[in-house]
Amino acid sequence: MIEETLPDFKGKTVVFYASTNLAQADWANEGIALVSPSFQIIGNRFFVVGKTPYLSEPSTDDNWSSNRECGVAWDCVFSYIAVPSEEYQYINYNSEK
């Protein structure tokens, strides 16, 4: 029998790729990054809940989702990439230069 365990994402920034049968926004194809997400049960479903990375002040249209609480339904996740948060911030900072 396979033992089911949930991953521990503490101290990591995780990019989730999720899919549903519903139409989804184009930005969702790039993945949804969450900082130190944890699992919560909402409406009898597991969700991975955390804050989006701080990119800049969310006052501009381009960064409206910066540093906001976000949840992703775990049963819709088909792939994820977990990296230490410091490394993700370094990669993200250098990619904007």
Largest CA distance in the chain: 50
Confidence (pTM): 0.77
**Is 91 a domain residue?**
yes
Distance CA 68, CA 8 (A): 21
pLDDT at residue 25 in the model: 57
pLDDT at residue 65 in the model: 75
pLDDT means per 10 residues, the chain with 97 residues, are: 83 89 61 94 96 71 78 92 83 59
Q: How many domains does the chain have?
A: 1
**Is 24 a domain residue?**
no
**Is 51 a domain residue?**
yes
**Is 3 a domain residue?**
no
Q: Phi and psi for 4 in degrees, rounded to 5?
A: -85, 130
